Amino acid sequence: MNIGPIKLSAPTLQAPMEAITDAPFRALIRARGGCGLTCTEFIHSAHVTPRNPLAARVLRRAEDEQPIAFQIYGREPTLMAAAAAACEARGADIIDLNLGCPSKQVTGGRAGAALMREPERATQIFEAVMGAIKAPMTVKMRLGWDEETRNAVEIARRAEAAGAAAVTVHARTRQQLYRGEADWGAVAEVRAAIQIPLIINGDILTTGDARAALSASGADGVMVGRGLVRDPWILRQIADDLAGRAPTSPSLEARHGALLGLLRGFLEGAPTEGVAVGRMKKHIGYLTHIPWGAQLRDDLLHARTAEAIFERLTSYFEALEDAGLSQAFERRWPR
Ligand SMILES: Cc1cc2nc3c(=O)[nH]c(=O)nc-3n(C[C@H](O)[C@H](O)[C@H](O)COP(=O)(O)O)c2cc1C
């Protein structure tokens, strides 16, 4: 799958997630393999300025992190264009525009998913951004604002007409927030309406989900968000499955090493140990579906120092090994 001139190694993309998809998390995901494109969390266009500390943190990319999309949001075409150009200058391979965020903070400012209610305004933004960058522009949207106004087809057509290189659809309306089930089949209408690559997103947790979402929508690629927090290996498994290779499970050592690597990444990048420990805690939600995972997660949530987290992880993995559970991650375990 290509996005403009950029060839993705796999049609499996990491979804942008605020406060989660920072540089250490993206490094973790990329190192697992099977990730065709990483993406920063979103940042308001007004914050993409040279000395803004938020921009410095959100738009930090590793030298070898390629390709990467930087995601911006806002509603002023000139500001969005300037932010897109600044992102390109900071090393973005792709500029992604957020038309999907449902939060009141964002939609209250008539940005994010609220822009789907203003197709003309959205078009002005697409055109302004396209006029400001050489990198491909992509647009991430929802099905629409609510059930009565599902207009992803119209917004996707407008994005394509303005020159977008790909479109991602999270198969929910803004009104649904993150509730209910993603309606993968509804994205087939977008597929029929545009020629550019289409990426399906929402509720993809397994290789079976990825296949079902692709077949229901006709999309070219899948994007995974929460599933990656739960299991950082899932993009690799999906990529293997789609390429006809048998998906493999990581060893215990690999799982242990991944968690330690993540914590080290936070310690290197965060201003204080407390901040690093806080960031780490956002990433341990997925531990519930591994043996004794709920207990481990509780222990880690109560840890106050990086040392305490290192020690708890080490004793956990040693106990698993002693119990002969090294192959047990695929099964659901009682809490
Ligand atoms: C904690 C969290 C933060 C998110 N932040 C962003 C964001 O910054 N930009 C964006 O386009 N979507 C954001 N999303 C939406 C995801 O990218 C994705 O569209 C959504 O979670 C559905 O996909 P999933 O079921 O694979 O998680 C966020 C979702 C979550 C759960």
How many whole angstroms separate alpha carbon 187 and alpha carbon 160?
16
Point out the ligand 1 atom lying closest to the alpha carbon of residue 204: 26
Question: How crowded is residue 49: how many other Cβ atoms within 10 Å of its Cβ?
Answer: 12
Helical segments of 148-289, H only: 152-162, 188-193, 207-217, 226-230, 234-242, 252-269, 273-281
Q: Whose CA is nearest to atom 30 of ligand 1?
A: 17
CATH of the structural domain 2-242, one choice from 3.60.70.12, 3.20.20.70, 3.40.50.720, 1.20.1250.20: 3.20.20.70
Please report how many Cα atoms fall inside a 13 Å half-sphere around the Cα of residue 265, on the Cβ side.
Answer: 22
- Predicted confidence at residue 69, as pLDDT, reads 98
Report how far ligand 1's centroid is from the alpha carbon of 14 (Å): 10
pTM: 0.93
Check: CB of residue 72 under 8 Å from CB of residue 87. Answer: yes
- Predicted confidence at residue 333, as pLDDT, reads 39
**Residues acting as catalytic residues:** 101
**3-class SS at 205?**
coil
Minimal CA–CA distance to 13: which of 22, 23, 4, 1? 1
- Predicted confidence at residue 328, as pLDDT, reads 56
How many whole angstroms separate alpha carbon 131 and alpha carbon 333?
53
- Predicted confidence at residue 335, as pLDDT, reads 31
Tokens of 19: 């406060």
For the chain, the domains span 2-242, 252-330
For a ligand 1 pocket test, name from 12, 13, 17, 203 the mutation site with the most ligand atoms within 8 angstroms of its C-beta. 17
Question: How crowded is residue 50: how many other Cβ atoms within 10 Å of its Cβ?
Answer: 9
For a ligand 1 pocket test, name from 170, 173, 223, 229 the mutation site with the most ligand atoms within 8 angstroms of its C-beta. 170
Residues flanking ligand 1, CB < 6 Å: 15-18, 20, 41-42, 71, 98, 100-101, 140, 170, 201-204, 224-227
- Per-residue pLDDT tens digits of the chain, which is 335 residues long: 999 999 999 999 999 999 889 999 999 999 999 999 999 999 999 999 999 999 999 999 999 999 999 999 999 999 999 999 999 999 999 999 999 999 999 999 999 999 999 999 999 999 999 999 999 999 999 999 999 999 999 999 999 999 999 999 999 999 999 999 999 999 999 999 999 999 999 999 999 999 999 999 999 999 999 889 878 899 999 999 999 999 988 887 888 888 888 889 889 988 899 999 998 888 776 566 677 888 888 999 999 999 999 999 999 989 888 887 766 555 443 33
How many whole angstroms separate alpha carbon 108 and alpha carbon 102?
9
